[in-house]
Structure 1
Amino acid sequence: MDLRETFDEDAERYDRIRPGYPARMFDDLAAAGVPRGARVLEIGCGTGQATVPLAERGYDIVAVELGARLAAVARRNLAGFDSVRVVTAAFEDWPLPAEPFDVVFCATAFHWVDPAVRVTKSADAVRPGGVLATVATHHIAGGSWTEAFHGEIQRHYEQFDPATPPGLRRVFAQDIPRDDAELTRSGRFGPAIFHRYEWEAAYSTAEYLDLLLTYSGHRALPEPRRTGLLTAIAQLIDDHGGRVVKRYLTELRVARRTG
Protein backbone atom coordinates (compact mmCIF):
# COMPACT_ATOMS: atom_id res chain seq x y z
CA MET A 1 0.00 0.00 0.00
CA ASP A 2 1.11 3.56 -0.78
CA LEU A 3 1.92 5.10 2.61
CA ARG A 4 -0.23 8.13 1.91
CA GLU A 5 -3.26 5.82 1.64
CA THR A 6 -2.87 4.76 5.28
CA PHE A 7 -4.42 8.04 6.46
CA ASP A 8 -7.76 6.97 4.98
CA GLU A 9 -7.92 3.76 7.03
CA ASP A 10 -9.23 5.49 10.14
CA ALA A 11 -10.64 8.87 9.14
CA GLU A 12 -12.60 9.35 12.37
CA ARG A 13 -9.47 8.95 14.49
CA TYR A 14 -7.59 11.33 12.19
CA ASP A 15 -10.35 13.92 12.54
CA ARG A 16 -10.52 13.47 16.32
CA ILE A 17 -6.87 13.77 17.29
CA ARG A 18 -4.80 15.38 14.54
CA PRO A 19 -3.80 18.92 15.58
CA GLY A 20 -5.07 21.95 13.71
CA TYR A 21 -3.19 25.10 12.76
CA PRO A 22 -2.50 28.41 14.52
CA ALA A 23 -5.07 31.11 13.76
CA ARG A 24 -2.24 33.56 13.00
CA MET A 25 -1.30 31.42 10.01
CA PHE A 26 -4.59 32.20 8.27
CA ASP A 27 -4.23 35.89 9.13
CA ASP A 28 -0.77 35.91 7.55
CA LEU A 29 -2.13 34.15 4.46
CA ALA A 30 -4.75 36.88 4.06
CA ALA A 31 -2.09 39.57 4.57
CA ALA A 32 -0.02 37.96 1.80
CA GLY A 33 -2.65 39.05 -0.71
CA VAL A 34 -5.42 36.47 -0.32
CA PRO A 35 -8.56 38.56 0.27
CA ARG A 36 -11.99 37.37 1.32
CA GLY A 37 -13.75 35.74 -1.65
CA ALA A 38 -10.56 34.46 -3.26
CA ARG A 39 -10.85 31.21 -5.20
CA VAL A 40 -8.78 28.54 -3.41
CA LEU A 41 -7.75 25.08 -4.56
CA GLU A 42 -6.76 22.98 -1.56
CA ILE A 43 -4.63 19.88 -2.13
CA GLY A 44 -5.12 17.05 0.37
CA CYS A 45 -7.67 18.55 2.73
CA GLY A 46 -7.87 15.48 4.99
CA THR A 47 -10.94 15.91 7.17
CA GLY A 48 -10.84 19.70 6.89
CA GLN A 49 -8.55 20.82 9.72
CA ALA A 50 -7.37 23.75 7.59
CA THR A 51 -10.39 23.91 5.27
CA VAL A 52 -12.81 24.96 8.00
CA PRO A 53 -10.74 28.03 9.04
CA LEU A 54 -10.32 28.94 5.35
CA ALA A 55 -14.07 28.68 4.80
CA GLU A 56 -14.74 30.78 7.91
CA ARG A 57 -12.65 33.52 6.31
CA GLY A 58 -14.94 33.63 3.29
CA TYR A 59 -12.91 31.83 0.64
CA ASP A 60 -14.45 29.95 -2.29
CA ILE A 61 -12.79 26.53 -2.01
CA VAL A 62 -12.41 23.40 -4.07
CA ALA A 63 -10.73 20.79 -1.84
CA VAL A 64 -9.22 17.71 -3.50
CA GLU A 65 -8.71 14.71 -1.21
CA LEU A 66 -7.33 11.30 -2.20
CA GLY A 67 -9.02 9.30 0.59
CA ALA A 68 -12.73 8.58 0.21
CA ARG A 69 -13.28 8.22 3.99
CA LEU A 70 -11.35 11.39 4.77
CA ALA A 71 -13.30 13.26 2.09
CA ALA A 72 -16.59 12.04 3.55
CA VAL A 73 -15.67 13.38 7.01
CA ALA A 74 -14.51 16.65 5.43
CA ARG A 75 -17.89 17.05 3.71
CA ARG A 76 -19.59 16.49 7.06
CA ASN A 77 -17.39 19.06 8.79
CA LEU A 78 -17.94 21.58 5.99
CA ALA A 79 -21.66 21.01 5.50
CA GLY A 80 -22.43 24.52 6.75
CA PHE A 81 -20.38 26.22 4.02
CA ASP A 82 -21.94 26.58 0.58
CA SER A 83 -18.66 27.99 -0.74
CA VAL A 84 -16.76 24.68 -0.33
CA ARG A 85 -16.75 21.65 -2.61
CA VAL A 86 -14.82 18.50 -1.65
CA VAL A 87 -13.65 16.30 -4.53
CA THR A 88 -12.41 12.74 -4.03
CA ALA A 89 -9.38 12.37 -6.30
CA ALA A 90 -5.60 12.33 -6.40
CA PHE A 91 -4.37 15.83 -7.24
CA GLU A 92 -2.00 14.34 -9.81
CA ASP A 93 -4.95 12.90 -11.76
CA TRP A 94 -7.58 15.59 -11.18
CA PRO A 95 -8.33 17.63 -14.35
CA LEU A 96 -7.82 21.33 -13.72
CA PRO A 97 -10.78 23.59 -14.52
CA ALA A 98 -10.49 26.15 -17.28
CA GLU A 99 -10.57 29.10 -14.87
CA PRO A 100 -7.40 29.31 -12.75
CA PHE A 101 -7.50 29.78 -9.00
CA ASP A 102 -6.21 32.73 -6.98
CA VAL A 103 -4.52 30.39 -4.50
CA VAL A 104 -3.29 26.83 -4.39
CA PHE A 105 -3.10 25.81 -0.74
CA CYS A 106 -1.75 22.60 0.80
CA ALA A 107 -1.44 21.90 4.53
CA THR A 108 0.94 19.14 5.63
CA ALA A 109 0.41 17.17 2.43
CA PHE A 110 2.56 18.73 -0.31
CA HIS A 111 5.38 16.26 0.36
CA TRP A 112 2.98 13.40 -0.42
CA VAL A 113 2.25 14.69 -3.93
CA ASP A 114 4.37 13.29 -6.77
CA PRO A 115 7.42 15.59 -6.93
CA ALA A 116 7.49 15.29 -10.72
CA VAL A 117 4.24 17.27 -11.02
CA ARG A 118 3.40 19.00 -7.74
CA VAL A 119 5.03 22.36 -8.52
CA THR A 120 4.24 22.53 -12.23
CA LYS A 121 0.61 21.48 -11.81
CA SER A 122 0.20 23.93 -8.93
CA ALA A 123 1.55 26.66 -11.23
CA ASP A 124 -0.85 25.59 -13.97
CA ALA A 125 -3.74 25.73 -11.48
CA VAL A 126 -3.10 29.27 -10.23
CA ARG A 127 -3.42 32.53 -12.16
CA PRO A 128 -0.35 34.67 -12.96
CA GLY A 129 0.39 36.66 -9.82
CA GLY A 130 -1.55 34.16 -7.75
CA VAL A 131 -0.20 32.36 -4.72
CA LEU A 132 1.04 28.88 -3.85
CA ALA A 133 0.82 28.45 -0.08
CA THR A 134 2.13 25.27 1.51
CA VAL A 135 2.20 24.37 5.18
CA ALA A 136 4.74 22.05 6.82
CA THR A 137 4.53 20.71 10.36
CA HIS A 138 7.74 19.80 12.17
CA HIS A 139 8.13 17.95 15.48
CA ILE A 140 10.77 19.89 17.36
CA ALA A 141 12.64 19.80 20.66
CA GLY A 142 10.77 21.20 23.63
CA GLY A 143 7.77 20.34 25.74
CA SER A 144 8.29 16.96 27.44
CA TRP A 145 11.08 16.11 25.00
CA THR A 146 14.05 16.47 27.27
CA GLU A 147 17.18 14.66 26.14
CA ALA A 148 16.56 11.92 28.68
CA PHE A 149 12.91 11.43 27.72
CA HIS A 150 13.70 11.39 24.03
CA GLY A 151 16.51 8.92 24.58
CA GLU A 152 14.07 6.52 26.25
CA ILE A 153 11.55 6.85 23.41
CA GLN A 154 14.31 6.46 20.82
CA ARG A 155 15.37 3.14 22.32
CA HIS A 156 11.83 1.82 21.94
CA TYR A 157 11.66 2.93 18.31
CA GLU A 158 15.01 1.32 17.53
CA GLN A 159 13.77 -1.89 19.14
CA PHE A 160 10.44 -2.16 17.34
CA ASP A 161 10.90 -0.18 14.10
CA PRO A 162 13.93 -1.24 12.07
CA ALA A 163 13.61 1.84 9.86
CA THR A 164 14.43 4.15 12.78
CA PRO A 165 17.76 5.96 12.24
CA PRO A 166 20.07 5.24 15.18
CA GLY A 167 20.72 8.14 17.50
CA LEU A 168 17.91 10.27 16.07
CA ARG A 169 17.35 13.49 18.01
CA ARG A 170 14.75 16.26 17.91
CA VAL A 171 16.08 19.57 16.60
CA PHE A 172 15.13 23.14 17.47
CA ALA A 173 13.15 25.36 15.12
CA GLN A 174 16.15 27.50 14.26
CA ASP A 175 17.97 24.41 12.97
CA ILE A 176 15.32 23.64 10.33
CA PRO A 177 16.20 25.39 7.04
CA ARG A 178 13.74 27.49 5.06
CA ASP A 179 13.58 25.74 1.71
CA ASP A 180 12.08 27.11 -1.49
CA ALA A 181 14.63 25.63 -3.90
CA GLU A 182 12.05 23.40 -5.59
CA LEU A 183 9.82 26.39 -6.31
CA THR A 184 12.47 28.75 -7.64
CA ARG A 185 14.12 25.97 -9.66
CA SER A 186 10.86 25.46 -11.54
CA GLY A 187 10.97 28.98 -12.94
CA ARG A 188 7.24 29.32 -12.23
CA PHE A 189 7.37 30.98 -8.81
CA GLY A 190 9.30 33.80 -7.22
CA PRO A 191 11.18 33.56 -3.91
CA ALA A 192 9.04 32.35 -1.04
CA ILE A 193 8.14 34.22 2.12
CA PHE A 194 8.13 32.10 5.29
CA HIS A 195 6.01 32.49 8.41
CA ARG A 196 6.78 30.29 11.41
CA TYR A 197 4.77 29.47 14.52
CA GLU A 198 5.99 27.45 17.51
CA TRP A 199 3.34 25.99 19.79
CA GLU A 200 2.66 23.09 22.13
CA ALA A 201 -0.09 20.53 22.66
CA ALA A 202 -0.61 18.31 25.71
CA TYR A 203 -1.78 14.70 25.43
CA SER A 204 -2.78 12.05 27.94
CA THR A 205 -1.27 8.61 27.39
CA ALA A 206 -4.38 7.43 25.53
CA GLU A 207 -4.53 10.59 23.41
CA TYR A 208 -0.88 10.29 22.44
CA LEU A 209 -1.32 6.68 21.33
CA ASP A 210 -4.35 7.84 19.35
CA LEU A 211 -2.16 10.45 17.67
CA LEU A 212 0.58 7.94 16.84
CA LEU A 213 -1.99 5.75 15.12
CA THR A 214 -2.62 8.55 12.60
CA TYR A 215 1.01 8.54 11.42
CA SER A 216 1.73 6.53 8.29
CA GLY A 217 4.93 4.96 9.60
CA HIS A 218 3.22 3.63 12.72
CA ARG A 219 0.22 2.31 10.80
CA ALA A 220 2.50 0.53 8.33
CA LEU A 221 4.36 -1.40 11.04
CA PRO A 222 3.50 -5.12 11.25
CA GLU A 223 0.98 -5.72 14.03
CA PRO A 224 3.31 -7.35 16.62
CA ARG A 225 5.86 -4.55 16.26
CA ARG A 226 3.23 -1.80 16.36
CA THR A 227 1.62 -3.24 19.48
CA GLY A 228 4.99 -3.65 21.16
CA LEU A 229 5.99 -0.08 20.34
CA LEU A 230 2.73 1.46 21.53
CA THR A 231 2.75 -0.60 24.74
CA ALA A 232 6.30 0.52 25.53
CA ILE A 233 5.52 4.18 24.82
CA ALA A 234 2.35 4.02 26.94
CA GLN A 235 4.34 2.64 29.87
CA LEU A 236 6.97 5.36 29.45
CA ILE A 237 4.40 8.16 29.47
CA ASP A 238 2.58 6.65 32.44
CA ASP A 239 5.89 6.53 34.29
CA HIS A 240 6.27 10.26 33.57
CA GLY A 241 2.89 11.23 35.02
CA GLY A 242 0.54 10.10 32.27
CA ARG A 243 0.91 13.25 30.21
CA VAL A 244 3.18 14.31 27.37
CA VAL A 245 3.64 17.77 25.83
CA LYS A 246 4.68 17.97 22.18
CA ARG A 247 6.23 21.06 20.64
CA TYR A 248 5.41 21.80 17.03
CA LEU A 249 6.75 24.17 14.40
CA THR A 250 4.16 25.11 11.78
CA GLU A 251 5.65 26.79 8.72
CA LEU A 252 3.65 28.67 6.09
CA ARG A 253 5.53 29.09 2.80
CA VAL A 254 4.01 31.58 0.34
CA ALA A 255 5.28 32.07 -3.21
CA ARG A 256 3.77 34.08 -6.04
CA ARG A 257 3.44 32.70 -9.56
CA THR A 258 5.68 34.55 -12.01
CA GLY A 259 5.72 32.35 -15.10
Structure 2
Amino acid sequence: MKKPDQLEKLYLQDLELRKNWYSPVADAYNKVRPRYSQEIINRTIELAELTPESKILELGCGPGNATVSYAQLGCSLSCLEPSQEACKFARQNCAAYPNVEIKQTTFEEWQLEPGKFKAVLAATSFHWMNPNIAYAKSAETLEKNGSLILLWNMTPQPNYEVYKTLHEVYQIHAPSSARYEDSTTQVKIVKSLGEKAIDSGYFQDLVTDHILCQVTYSIDNYLLLLNTLSPYLKLEASIRNALFAGLREKIEQHYGGSIEITYVSAFQVAKKV
Protein backbone atom coordinates (compact mmCIF):
# COMPACT_ATOMS: atom_id res chain seq x y z
CA MET A 1 0.00 0.00 0.00
CA LYS A 2 1.16 3.53 -0.74
CA LYS A 3 2.21 5.78 2.11
CA PRO A 4 -0.09 8.75 2.76
CA ASP A 5 2.28 11.29 1.25
CA GLN A 6 2.31 9.30 -1.98
CA LEU A 7 -1.43 8.72 -2.23
CA GLU A 8 -2.31 12.17 -3.56
CA LYS A 9 -0.77 11.28 -6.92
CA LEU A 10 -3.32 8.49 -7.34
CA TYR A 11 -6.23 10.90 -7.20
CA LEU A 12 -4.87 12.79 -10.20
CA GLN A 13 -4.76 9.73 -12.38
CA ASP A 14 -7.33 9.27 -15.09
CA LEU A 15 -10.50 7.74 -13.65
CA GLU A 16 -10.57 5.08 -16.37
CA LEU A 17 -7.12 3.91 -15.33
CA ARG A 18 -8.02 3.76 -11.66
CA LYS A 19 -11.27 1.90 -12.07
CA ASN A 20 -9.74 -0.82 -14.26
CA TRP A 21 -6.44 -1.10 -12.41
CA TYR A 22 -7.09 -4.55 -10.92
CA SER A 23 -9.12 -5.98 -13.80
CA PRO A 24 -6.22 -8.00 -15.30
CA VAL A 25 -5.62 -9.73 -11.95
CA ALA A 26 -9.19 -10.06 -10.67
CA ASP A 27 -8.98 -13.86 -10.60
CA ALA A 28 -5.75 -13.82 -8.59
CA TYR A 29 -7.14 -11.13 -6.28
CA ASN A 30 -10.14 -13.36 -5.60
CA LYS A 31 -7.98 -16.41 -4.93
CA VAL A 32 -5.12 -15.16 -2.78
CA ARG A 33 -5.74 -11.72 -1.28
CA PRO A 34 -6.15 -12.13 2.50
CA ARG A 35 -9.70 -11.85 3.85
CA TYR A 36 -10.60 -9.84 6.95
CA SER A 37 -10.66 -11.59 10.29
CA GLN A 38 -14.00 -12.13 11.99
CA GLU A 39 -12.57 -10.38 15.03
CA ILE A 40 -12.14 -7.19 13.00
CA ILE A 41 -15.55 -7.54 11.37
CA ASN A 42 -17.32 -8.09 14.70
CA ARG A 43 -15.80 -4.97 16.22
CA THR A 44 -16.99 -2.81 13.33
CA ILE A 45 -20.49 -4.28 13.55
CA GLU A 46 -20.59 -3.44 17.24
CA LEU A 47 -19.23 0.08 16.90
CA ALA A 48 -21.41 0.98 13.92
CA GLU A 49 -24.43 -0.56 15.69
CA LEU A 50 -25.35 -2.68 12.69
CA THR A 51 -28.36 -5.00 12.75
CA PRO A 52 -29.94 -7.29 10.15
CA GLU A 53 -32.13 -4.32 9.18
CA SER A 54 -29.18 -2.05 8.43
CA LYS A 55 -28.39 -0.84 4.92
CA ILE A 56 -24.72 -0.64 3.95
CA LEU A 57 -23.11 1.05 0.97
CA GLU A 58 -19.80 -0.63 0.12
CA LEU A 59 -17.22 1.24 -1.93
CA GLY A 60 -14.90 -0.74 -4.18
CA CYS A 61 -16.01 -4.19 -3.05
CA GLY A 62 -13.64 -6.04 -5.39
CA PRO A 63 -14.53 -9.75 -5.45
CA GLY A 64 -16.39 -9.40 -2.15
CA ASN A 65 -13.59 -10.14 0.28
CA ALA A 66 -15.35 -8.21 3.05
CA THR A 67 -18.86 -8.22 1.63
CA VAL A 68 -19.77 -11.77 2.58
CA SER A 69 -19.07 -11.20 6.29
CA TYR A 70 -21.60 -8.36 6.46
CA ALA A 71 -24.09 -10.18 4.23
CA GLN A 72 -24.04 -13.08 6.70
CA LEU A 73 -25.34 -10.69 9.36
CA GLY A 74 -28.41 -10.15 7.19
CA CYS A 75 -27.63 -6.55 6.26
CA SER A 76 -28.67 -5.22 2.87
CA LEU A 77 -25.60 -4.20 0.89
CA SER A 78 -25.35 -2.02 -2.19
CA CYS A 79 -21.81 -2.65 -3.44
CA LEU A 80 -20.06 -0.42 -5.94
CA GLU A 81 -17.20 -1.86 -7.99
CA PRO A 82 -15.91 -0.37 -11.25
CA SER A 83 -14.16 -3.48 -12.59
CA GLN A 84 -16.38 -5.77 -14.65
CA GLU A 85 -14.13 -8.73 -13.85
CA ALA A 86 -14.24 -8.09 -10.10
CA CYS A 87 -18.02 -7.68 -10.25
CA LYS A 88 -18.28 -11.14 -11.76
CA PHE A 89 -16.44 -12.70 -8.83
CA ALA A 90 -18.35 -10.61 -6.29
CA ARG A 91 -21.66 -11.83 -7.70
CA GLN A 92 -20.44 -15.42 -7.57
CA ASN A 93 -19.17 -15.10 -3.99
CA CYS A 94 -22.38 -13.39 -2.83
CA ALA A 95 -24.80 -15.58 -4.78
CA ALA A 96 -26.18 -17.08 -1.56
CA TYR A 97 -27.17 -13.63 -0.27
CA PRO A 98 -30.15 -12.04 -2.03
CA ASN A 99 -29.64 -8.99 0.19
CA VAL A 100 -26.47 -8.05 -1.77
CA GLU A 101 -26.55 -5.99 -4.97
CA ILE A 102 -23.37 -5.46 -7.00
CA LYS A 103 -23.30 -2.34 -9.18
CA GLN A 104 -20.55 -1.77 -11.74
CA THR A 105 -19.63 1.87 -11.14
CA THR A 106 -17.26 4.12 -9.25
CA PHE A 107 -18.31 6.01 -6.14
CA GLU A 108 -17.52 9.25 -7.97
CA GLU A 109 -19.97 8.32 -10.75
CA TRP A 110 -22.64 6.75 -8.52
CA GLN A 111 -25.85 8.73 -8.17
CA LEU A 112 -26.12 9.96 -4.59
CA GLU A 113 -28.92 8.59 -2.37
CA PRO A 114 -29.03 11.00 0.59
CA GLY A 115 -29.57 9.68 4.10
CA LYS A 116 -30.22 6.11 2.99
CA PHE A 117 -27.47 4.04 4.63
CA LYS A 118 -26.55 3.12 8.19
CA ALA A 119 -22.91 2.61 7.18
CA VAL A 120 -20.50 3.30 4.35
CA LEU A 121 -17.93 0.50 4.12
CA ALA A 122 -14.61 0.55 2.28
CA ALA A 123 -12.25 -2.43 2.53
CA THR A 124 -8.72 -1.41 1.47
CA SER A 125 -10.28 0.81 -1.18
CA PHE A 126 -10.95 4.27 0.22
CA HIS A 127 -7.45 5.51 -0.68
CA TRP A 128 -8.26 5.01 -4.36
CA MET A 129 -11.01 7.64 -4.27
CA ASN A 130 -10.83 11.38 -4.69
CA PRO A 131 -10.92 12.70 -1.11
CA ASN A 132 -12.50 15.94 -2.29
CA ILE A 133 -15.56 13.86 -3.20
CA ALA A 134 -15.40 10.72 -1.07
CA TYR A 135 -15.72 12.10 2.46
CA ALA A 136 -18.52 14.57 1.69
CA LYS A 137 -20.45 12.08 -0.44
CA SER A 138 -20.07 9.35 2.20
CA ALA A 139 -21.44 11.64 4.88
CA GLU A 140 -24.34 12.78 2.73
CA THR A 141 -25.48 9.25 1.91
CA LEU A 142 -25.45 8.26 5.60
CA GLU A 143 -28.47 8.52 7.86
CA LYS A 144 -28.22 10.44 11.11
CA ASN A 145 -25.69 8.75 13.43
CA GLY A 146 -24.43 6.67 10.51
CA SER A 147 -20.85 5.38 10.41
CA LEU A 148 -17.92 5.27 8.05
CA ILE A 149 -16.21 1.86 8.30
CA LEU A 150 -12.72 1.56 6.88
CA LEU A 151 -10.99 -1.83 6.75
CA TRP A 152 -7.31 -2.16 5.88
CA ASN A 153 -5.19 -5.17 5.06
CA MET A 154 -1.71 -3.74 4.71
CA THR A 155 0.97 -4.99 2.34
CA PRO A 156 1.94 -8.60 3.20
CA GLN A 157 5.61 -8.90 4.18
CA PRO A 158 7.96 -11.82 4.87
CA ASN A 159 10.02 -11.54 8.02
CA TYR A 160 13.03 -9.28 7.70
CA GLU A 161 15.62 -12.07 7.41
CA VAL A 162 13.67 -13.58 4.51
CA TYR A 163 13.28 -10.16 2.96
CA LYS A 164 17.06 -9.65 2.99
CA THR A 165 17.53 -12.91 1.10
CA LEU A 166 14.92 -11.98 -1.50
CA HIS A 167 16.26 -8.44 -1.70
CA GLU A 168 19.18 -9.72 -3.80
CA VAL A 169 16.72 -10.65 -6.55
CA TYR A 170 14.99 -7.27 -6.39
CA GLN A 171 18.29 -5.44 -6.75
CA ILE A 172 18.96 -7.29 -9.98
CA HIS A 173 15.53 -7.01 -11.61
CA ALA A 174 13.36 -4.35 -9.94
CA PRO A 175 15.14 -2.19 -7.35
CA SER A 176 12.22 0.25 -7.15
CA SER A 177 9.95 -2.54 -5.87
CA ALA A 178 12.28 -3.51 -3.02
CA ARG A 179 10.44 -1.84 -0.17
CA TYR A 180 9.89 -3.19 3.32
CA GLU A 181 7.30 -2.10 5.89
CA ASP A 182 7.53 -3.48 9.39
CA SER A 183 4.38 -3.69 11.50
CA THR A 184 5.21 -0.46 13.35
CA THR A 185 5.35 1.42 10.07
CA GLN A 186 2.11 -0.15 8.88
CA VAL A 187 0.30 0.86 12.08
CA LYS A 188 1.50 4.46 11.59
CA ILE A 189 0.19 4.47 8.02
CA VAL A 190 -3.18 3.14 9.13
CA LYS A 191 -3.39 5.76 11.87
CA SER A 192 -2.77 8.54 9.38
CA LEU A 193 -5.47 7.19 7.07
CA GLY A 194 -8.01 7.34 9.88
CA GLU A 195 -6.96 10.86 10.81
CA LYS A 196 -7.76 11.98 7.27
CA ALA A 197 -11.42 11.09 7.86
CA ILE A 198 -11.53 13.29 10.95
CA ASP A 199 -9.58 16.09 9.26
CA SER A 200 -12.19 16.13 6.47
CA GLY A 201 -14.66 17.66 8.95
CA TYR A 202 -17.42 15.20 8.03
CA PHE A 203 -16.70 12.56 10.71
CA GLN A 204 -15.93 12.37 14.42
CA ASP A 205 -15.42 9.94 17.33
CA LEU A 206 -12.87 7.80 15.51
CA VAL A 207 -12.23 4.32 16.91
CA THR A 208 -9.35 2.33 15.46
CA ASP A 209 -7.62 -0.94 16.24
CA HIS A 210 -5.52 -3.57 14.52
CA ILE A 211 -4.28 -7.14 14.77
CA LEU A 212 -1.17 -8.79 13.36
CA CYS A 213 -1.94 -11.62 10.94
CA GLN A 214 0.25 -14.41 9.60
CA VAL A 215 -0.40 -16.55 6.54
CA THR A 216 1.71 -19.22 4.85
CA TYR A 217 1.63 -19.25 1.05
CA SER A 218 2.88 -21.79 -1.43
CA ILE A 219 5.32 -20.23 -3.86
CA ASP A 220 2.70 -20.19 -6.62
CA ASN A 221 0.16 -18.41 -4.45
CA TYR A 222 2.75 -16.00 -3.10
CA LEU A 223 3.70 -14.89 -6.60
CA LEU A 224 0.01 -14.60 -7.46
CA LEU A 225 -0.40 -12.39 -4.40
CA LEU A 226 2.49 -10.14 -5.44
CA ASN A 227 0.95 -9.88 -8.88
CA THR A 228 -2.13 -8.21 -7.35
CA LEU A 229 -0.10 -5.44 -5.69
CA SER A 230 0.33 -2.08 -7.42
CA PRO A 231 4.16 -1.97 -7.48
CA TYR A 232 4.19 -5.22 -9.46
CA LEU A 233 1.28 -4.31 -11.71
CA LYS A 234 3.29 -1.26 -12.79
CA LEU A 235 6.27 -3.33 -13.91
CA GLU A 236 6.79 -4.22 -17.55
CA ALA A 237 5.83 -7.85 -18.11
CA SER A 238 9.38 -8.94 -18.98
CA ILE A 239 10.80 -7.37 -15.82
CA ARG A 240 8.03 -8.83 -13.65
CA ASN A 241 8.54 -12.30 -15.15
CA ALA A 242 12.29 -12.18 -14.53
CA LEU A 243 11.74 -10.95 -10.97
CA PHE A 244 9.23 -13.68 -10.21
CA ALA A 245 11.51 -16.36 -11.69
CA GLY A 246 14.31 -15.17 -9.43
CA LEU A 247 12.04 -15.09 -6.38
CA ARG A 248 10.79 -18.58 -7.16
CA GLU A 249 14.35 -19.91 -7.31
CA LYS A 250 15.31 -18.28 -4.00
CA ILE A 251 12.21 -19.48 -2.16
CA GLU A 252 12.58 -23.01 -3.47
CA GLN A 253 16.28 -23.05 -2.59
CA HIS A 254 16.06 -21.54 0.90
CA TYR A 255 12.49 -22.05 2.15
CA GLY A 256 11.22 -25.30 0.66
CA GLY A 257 8.71 -23.76 -1.72
CA SER A 258 6.54 -21.87 0.78
CA ILE A 259 6.77 -18.59 2.63
CA GLU A 260 5.16 -17.09 5.72
CA ILE A 261 4.02 -13.49 5.48
CA THR A 262 2.82 -11.02 8.09
CA TYR A 263 0.56 -7.99 7.73
CA VAL A 264 -1.41 -5.56 9.83
CA SER A 265 -5.18 -5.90 9.54
CA ALA A 266 -7.01 -2.87 10.90
CA PHE A 267 -10.34 -1.11 11.14
CA GLN A 268 -11.55 2.43 11.70
CA VAL A 269 -15.09 3.45 12.54
CA ALA A 270 -16.10 7.11 12.67
CA LYS A 271 -19.52 8.67 13.17
CA LYS A 272 -21.09 11.18 10.83
CA VAL A 273 -20.89 14.70 12.24
Q: What TM-score comes out, normalization by structure 1 length?
A: 0.91
Output the amino acid matched with 2:72.
E
Quote the residue 1:117 is aligned against: 133
Cα distance in 1 for residues equivalent to 2:21 and 2:219: 23
Q: Which residue of 1 aligns with 2:265?
A: 250
For 1:50, the equivalent position in structure 2 comes to 66
**Structure 1 vs Structure 2: percent identity of aligned residues?**
24
State which of 124, 131, 148 in structure 1 corresponds to 2:161: 148
> Per-residue CA shift, 1:211-248, capped at 9, x if unaligned?
11222221221111001110111111111211101111
The Cα of 1:162 is off from its aligned counterpart by: 4.8
Residue 182 of structure 2, aligned match among 156, 159, 171: 171
Give 5+ residue unaligned stretches, structure 2. Answer: 1-15
Q: By how many angstroms is 1:174 displaced?
A: 7.2
Residues 1:90 and 2:96 are matched in the alignment = no
* 1:108-160 alpha-carbon deviations (Å, 9 max, x no partner): 1111111221211111121221000001122366xx51x33212223323432
2:170 maps to which of 154, 157, 174: 157
The question of whether the paired residues in 2 share the 8 Å contact of 1:40 and 1:104 is answered with yes
Supply the distance in 2 between the matched residues of 1:72 and 1:104 (Cα, whole angstroms). 22
The question of 1:7 aligning with 2:26 is answered no
Contact 1:139 1:246 in 2 (8 A): no
Query: Cα RMSD over matched residues?
Result: 1.9
From 87, 111, 128, the counterpart of 1:71: 87
State the SS of the aligned residue for 1:187: coil
SS in 2 for 1:94: coil
- Give the distance between the partners of 1:169 and 1:97, measured in 2 at CA: 41
| Structure-2 separation of matches of 1:194 and 1:185 | 15
For residue 188 of structure 1, report the CA deviation from its aligned partner: 1.2
Change (3 A) 1:96 1:158: farther
Higher helix share: 2
The code of the aligned residue for 1:115 comes to: P
